[in-house]
C-alpha cells in the first residue's frame, strides 16, 4: 500500500517539481543551445558566392604568391615611380628582368606651385609605365602611394595641400590601382629617413640581426638630408626630448622579429639644392667664394631668388668651407645635449650602428660625376670624406670655362656650383656629422640583391610597410 502511494504521488508531480529535480542537467544542455541559437540569429544568411566575394575584396586573386606595390617618390628635383613585387615571405620577385620598375622625370611637383592640376598630370607617363608591369587582375588590389618630400614641404601657403589634393583626384580618376587619400601625403622627414634605413638594411640582409650588425644611412636629397642608424637600448633611454614641433629622435621598429631603436633626424633646408640657398644667404649681396669665377647670375629655390656671383678673388675651397660652416650653424647654435651634430641637434650617441655608414643620393651623384667613383657605371663604392675635400679643392681652383672641359659629366646648370656642392658635402660629413675625414664610407646608388641591383631609396621601405 505504501509503495502504491509513492507511485501515485510521483505520477502527480508538477512540472515545476520536475524542473527543480533536474535543474542541473537542464542547465548543462540549455546554455550551449541558447548560445548557438543566438549566434545563428545574429549572423546574416550568406551564400558561398557572398563569402567568396568578401574574400576577393580583401585579398587579390593571387594573394598567396605575389603582391605588388607602387610608390611615387615626389622629390624636389623630380618625380620617380618604383614598382615592387613580393612573394609571401616578403622577398622581392623579379618584374621582367629586374627586381623593380624604376622610372623618373623632371621637374618635380614643387615646380608647379600655382598649377596643381599640371603638377598631378605630370605623373601621367610614370603611372602608365607602372600599370604596364602590373597584371590587370592585380591592379585593384595593388596599393599606390605618393610620398612628397622636402621640395613640397617648403612651398608657401596652401600650395602643398592643393597639389596633393590634385594628385589624389588624378589617381582616383586615372589609376586602376588601389588608392587612398591618406596614401598621398607630404612625407615626414624622419619617416623618409627611417624608410631609407629599412630599404638598405633589407637589401643587405641585415634585418633580424643585432643592431650592431646593421648599417647607418645618410641620405642627401635636394631639400633635406637625413641620418638614421640603430642605437643601443641604453642610448635610446638617454635620448633628449625634441623641441616643441619637432619629431622625436628615436623610433622603435619591429622588423623580422627584432626590435630596433632607430635614431633618425631630418635636417630641412640642408639637402644639396636647399643648402645652396643657405650658403648664398651668408654672403647675401657680396661675392660668394663658392661660385666659380666667370659666372654671373642668380639662384632660384623655393620661390626665392638669390644672388650667385663669385668673389672678386675667385672661388676657394678654404674660404668656401668657412661660409659653409656658418650656413650649417656648427658653432652658432647652443648644444644643450651631450653631443650635437649641427644646429643644436642631438647626434644619437654614436655606437656600433653608425660605424658602417652608407651614404646615398646626391653624395653618390656628385662623386660619380667628378671621378671620385672611378667606374661611372658602379652602383657602390668605398670612399672617404677627404676624397670629397680633394675634389672640392680641384673644382674650386678652376674657373667656369676651364671647368667645362675638366668636368664634362657635370650638367651645365650645376657647373657654377660645383665648388660649393663638393665643399658642402665634405663639410657636412666632417664638420656637421663629425665623421673622421679618413673613415671609409660606402657610397651607394643601388644594392645587389639576388644577383640584381635595386635602387637604394626610401620607397622600398614604404612598399614593405604597404604590403605587410
> For the residues 451-456, what does the mean pLDDT come to?
85
The highest-confidence range among 185-189, 296-300, 447-451, by mean pLDDT, is 296-300
pLDDT for 347 equals 92
Ranges 200-209, 223-232, 241-250, 405-414: which has the least confidence: 241-250
Least confident of 13-27, 55-69, 213-227, 453-467: 13-27
pLDDT given at position 344: 87
DSSP 372-439: SSS-TT-SEEEE-HHHHHHHHHHHHTS-HHHHHHHSTTS-TTTGGGHHHHHHHHHHIIIIIS---TT-
Best CA proximity match to 143, nearest among 178, 170, 168, 173: 178
Interatomic CA distance for residues 442 and 423, integer angstroms: 19
Tell me the β-bridge partners of 220. Answer: 225, 361
The mean predicted confidence, pLDDT, of the chain is: 86
**Domain positions in the chain:** 2-33, 67-187, 194-458
Calculated CA dihedral for residues 428, 433, 437, 441, nearest 10 degrees: -90
Summarize pLDDT for 89-134 with one digit per residue, the tens: 889 999 988 888 999 999 999 999 999 999 999 999 999 999 999 9
* Residue 153 confidence class, pLDDT cut points 50, 70, 90: confident
Predicted local confidence at residue 34, as pLDDT:
55
pLDDT at residue 245, rounded to an integer: 59
Measured between alpha carbons, how far is 229 from 241 in angstroms, rounded to an integer? 18
| Residue 192 falls in the annotated catalytic set | yes
pLDDT tens string 201-237: 999 999 889 999 999 999 999 989 999 999 999 999 9
Question: What digits encode the pLDDT tens for the residues 325-351?
Answer: 999 998 766 777 678 899 889 999 999
Tell me which of 100, 131, 192, 369 is the catalytic residue. Answer: 192
pTM, to two decimals? 0.75
Whole-number pLDDT of residue 400: 96
pLDDT reading at 443 higher than 80: yes
Residue bearing the bigger pLDDT, 136 or 25: 136
> Using one digit for the tens of pLDDT, what is the confidence trace for 33-84?
555 454 344 344 443 333 333 333 334 454 557 999 999 999 888 999 999 9
* CATH annotation of 67-187: 3.30.420.40
Query: What is the separation, in whole angstroms, between the first and last Cα of the chain?
Result: 82
Distance CA 123, CA 147 (A): 13
Lowest mean pLDDT among 104-113, 235-244, 373-382, 459-468: 235-244
Residue 154 has pLDDT above 60, yes or no: yes
- Reference 304, options 272, 268, 270, 277; nearest CA is 277
67-187 shares its CATH topology with 194-458: yes
> Scanning the structure block, which residue is given the C-alpha cell 644577383?
451
**Range with the lowest mean pLDDT among 41-45, 407-411, 433-437, 447-451?**
41-45
Residue in the block written with cell 505520477: 11
| pLDDT beyond 90 at 452 | no
User: To the nearest 5 percent, what fractions of the chain are helix, strand and coil?
Assistant: 45, 20, 35
For domain 194-458, the CATH superfamily is: Exopolyphosphatase. Domain 2 (3.30.420.150)
Share of the chain above pLDDT 70, in %: 84
Amino acid at each position: 500500500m505504501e509503495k502504491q502511494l509513492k507511485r501515485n504521488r510521483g505520477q502527480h508531480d508538477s512540472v515545476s517539481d520536475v524542473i527543480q529535480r533536474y535543474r542541473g542537467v537542464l542547465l548543462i544542455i540549455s546554455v550551449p543551445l541558447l548560445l548557438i541559437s543566438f549566434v545563428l540569429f545574429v549572423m546574416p544568411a550568406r551564400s558561398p558566392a557572398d563569402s567568396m566575394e568578401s574574400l576577393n575584396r580583401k585579398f587579390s586573386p593571387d594573394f598567396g604568391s605575389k603582391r605588388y606595390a607602387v610608390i611615387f617618390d615626389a622629390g624636389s628635383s623630380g618625380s620617380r615611380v618604383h614598382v615592387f613585387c613580393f612573394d609571401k615571405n616578403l622577398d622581392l620577385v623579379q618584374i621582367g628582368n629586374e627586381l623593380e620598375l624604376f622610372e623618373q622625370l623632371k621637374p618635380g611637383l614643387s615646380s608647379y606651385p600655382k598649377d596643381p592640376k599640371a603638377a598631378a598630370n605630370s605623373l601621367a607617363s610614370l603611372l602608365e609605365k607602372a600599370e604596364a608591369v602590373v597584371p590587370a587582375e592585380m591592379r585593384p588590389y595593388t596599393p599606390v602611394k605618393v610620398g612628397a618630400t622636402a621640395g613640397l614641404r617648403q612651398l608657401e601657403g596652401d600650395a602643398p595641400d592643393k597639389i596633393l589634393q590634385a594628385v589624389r583626384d588624378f589617381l582616383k580618376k586615372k589609376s586602376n590601382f588601389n588608392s587612398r587619400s591618406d596614401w598621398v601625403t607630404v612625407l615626414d622627414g624622419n619617416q623618409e629617413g627611417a624608410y631609407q634605413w629599412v630599404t638598405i638594411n633589407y637589401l643587405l640582409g641585415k634585418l633580424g640581426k643585432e643592431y650592431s650588425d646593421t648599417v647607418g644611412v645618410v641620405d642627401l636629397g635636394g631639400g633635406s638630408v637625413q641620418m638614421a642608424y640603430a642605437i643601443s637600448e641604453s642610448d635610446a633611454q638617454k635620448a633628449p626630448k625634441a623641441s616643441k614641433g619637432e619629431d622625436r629622435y628615436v623610433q622603435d621598429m619591429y622588423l623580422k622579429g627584432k626590435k630596433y631603436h632607430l635614431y633618425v633626424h631630418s635636417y630641412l633646408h640642408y639637402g644639396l639644392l636647399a643648402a645652396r640657398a643657405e650658403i648664398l644667404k651668408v654672403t647675401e649681396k657680396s661675392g660668394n667664394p663658392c661660385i666659380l669665377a666667370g659666372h654671373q647670375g642668380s639662384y632660384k629655390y623655393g620661390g626665392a631668388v638669390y644672388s650667385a656671383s663669385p668673389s672678386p678673388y675667385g672661388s676657394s675651397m678654404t674660404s668656401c668651407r668657412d661660409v659653409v660652416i656658418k650656413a650649417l650653424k656648427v658653432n652658432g647654435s647652443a648644444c644643450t645635449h651631450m653631443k650635437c651634430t649641427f644646429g643644436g641637434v642631438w647626434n644619437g650617441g654614436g655606437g656600433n650602428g653608425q660605424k658602417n655608414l652608407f651614404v646615398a643620393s646626391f653624395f653618390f651623384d656628385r662623386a660619380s660625376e667628378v671621378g671620385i667613383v672611378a667606374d661611372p657605371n658602379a652602383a657602390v663604392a668605398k670612399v672617404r670624406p677627404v676624397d670629397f675635400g680633394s675634389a672640392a679643392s680641384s673644382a674650386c681652383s678652376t674657373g667656369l670655362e676651364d671647368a667645362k672641359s675638366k668636368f664634362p659629366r657635370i650638367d651645365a646648370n650645376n657647373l657654377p656650383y660645383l665648388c660649393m656642392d663638393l665643399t658642402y658635402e665634405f663639410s657636412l660629413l666632417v664638420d656637421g656629422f663629425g665623421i673622421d675625414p679618413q673613415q671609409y664610407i660606402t657610397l651607394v646608388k643601388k644594392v645587389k640583391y639576388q644577383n640584381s641591383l635595386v635602387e637604394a631609396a626610401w620607397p622600398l621601405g614604404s612598399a614593405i610597410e604597404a604590403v605587410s
